[in-house]
Structure 1
């Protein structure tokens, strides 16, 4: 293998949506990462639908299509 071509592999702290934390090793540039969606909140694992609006995407959609509907 070539020397000095691999990213730094170090320990980071992962914060789940409920606030619990665990440590793992990663090539992620920061020291910690906060998850928006994880196995404790994702509908694929929980079976419960929940609306997650990251970055205002739902608000943007509602604003764009607010007048769209049946005409009276």
Structure 2
């Protein structure tokens, strides 16, 4: 049993706002929530995420730790 008068008020239909628009309704201890990002405009969830390879980090990693795909295919042909 919950103790009386120690819990915050529960709002089962709290509105979540993003850029001034209601994007969803959830349960919360606050009647309104204002967010900058949500799954509807986040690049990861919308598929617009761009992977930026600055300074050739992938190539530098492959040179240091792994063989390139050309070398591994040449090795297979020799065997």
Quickly name the TM-score band, shorter chain normalised. Answer: 0.3 to 0.5
TM-score normalized by the length of structure 2: 0.43
Larger Rg: 2
Choose between structure 1 and 2: higher strand proportion.
Answer: 2
TM-score, normalised relative to structure 1: 0.46
The structure whose RCO (Cα within 8 Å, separation 6+) is larger is: 1
Higher helix residue share: 2
